[in-house]
Structure 1
Amino acid sequence: MNTTDTATVTALQPVWREVLAASYRALENSVAGVRDDEGDKVTPCSEWTVTQVIQHAAGDQLAYAKVLGIGDGPAYDPFSPSGAVDGSSVALVKDAVGQAAAAWATVPDDSETVPTPLPHGDLPTPVAAVMCALDAAVHAWDVAIATGQPSPLDNELAGHLLAAARGTVEPLRQWGAYAPVVEAADSPSSTPVVDELLRYLGRVPR
């Protein structure tokens, strides 16, 4: 599926703001559920701890906010998180999500394309927004699973995220942003949408 696929853009157009809001809630709630002694736990992003995933997720949202005209972007490389937060992880994510949400609020409903921090550059607005949401939601899942919390994803949200992911994720795998697809033992027709999304993003459903 191409990122400019008309059917995908049309399907995501009426829901992208709700998808963003749901994904931001998922990220903030998952981070709020992390105990003080859980920051060094291993996550589904096997090379990163819980704190590093949180730093990465916050940095990505700050990067989206910057290209949309809000804030200065992350003060660190989101792909080399230190594992040490100055202050609290909750405050870090709250600030990042606040800036990103404010940035998306400036985007008119009839805007056809917007810039992104992705290698793709400008993307159709609904696709760009849902890719931003995808980043928040999948890392919310990483944090939740690593710390024994319930999954923040449901099949409705996952379906919207998967629609955008299928057109944009492949080029990102070469930079290590996503692991290879994890093949399912069951047929696609019997796989829950959440599991299908996670496998597509290189994660093993838990």
Structure 2
Amino acid sequence: MPPRSRFAALRTAVLAVPGDGWHLPTPCEGWTVTQVFQHAVGDPAGADPAAVLEDALSRAAKAWAGADRDATELPVPLRPRGAYVTALAPTPGDDEVAVLLRYLGRDPRWSAA
């Protein structure tokens, strides 16, 4: 998935979190939505996680802008493992968010409900 697509997927996911949803649990045992977001963007996001989103995406875009588009390989830390478990293969019909969650070893169909 190209970086711009990943950024769009993260933006879509963050903007879909309701204001009172940042404290909810996630499939990452013991982690709230805020903690997972902070992990994705790097630094603690403070009281308003969505406020730091554009800066985080801008920094990531600048980092990818220096990549050689003709290179056959890029020195990035991609691996066959997700954050803590084996990455899951995408399935037909997965959108970009589902692909990202599966890469992190998470089931995109999981719900806190």
- Cα distance in 1 between the residues matched to 2:100 and 2:16: 23
CA distance in 1, matches of 2:57, 2:12: 12
Give 1:88 shift.
2.1
Aligned pairs, number = 105
Tell me if 1:178 matches 2:66. no
Matches within 5 A, 1:58-97: 58-59=41-42, 74=43, 85-97=45-57
What's the Cα RMSD here? Answer: 3.3
Q: What amino acid does structure 1 have at the position aligned with 2:41?
A: A
Partner residue of 1:25?
A: 8
The whole-number CA distance in structure 2 between the counterparts of 1:169 and 1:53 is 20
| Structure 2 CA distance for partners of 1:32 and 1:205, relative to 1, 3 Å | closer
C-alpha deviation, 1:39, in angstroms: 0.8
Conserved in 2, the CA contact under 8 Å of 1:54 and 1:93? no
- Structure 2 length as normaliser, TM-score? 0.69
1:101-142 Cα offsets, whole Å, 9 max, x none, are 012112232346xxxxxxxxxxx31x738x4xxxxxxxxxxx
Q: Does 1:204 align with 2:107?
A: yes
The answer to whether the aligner puts 1:106 opposite 2:66 as a matched pair is yes
Distance 2:51 2:32 in 1: 18
Aligned to 1:192, which of 53, 77, 91?
A: 91
Identity %: 36
Runs of at least 5 residues in structure 1 that lack an aligned partner in the other structure: 1-15, 60-73, 77-84, 113-123, 132-167, 183-187
Q: Which residue of 1 aligns with 2:27?
A: 44
Question: Alignment partner for residue 80 of structure 2, among 135, 151, 169?
Answer: 169
Bigger Rg, structure 1 or 2? 1
Which segments of 5 or more consecutive residues in structure 2 lack a partner in the other structure?
none
Question: Post-superposition shift, 1:196?
Answer: 8.5
CA gap of 1:201–1:56, structure 2 versus 1, over 3 A, is: closer
Q: Distance in 2 between matches of 1:31 and 1:196?
A: 16
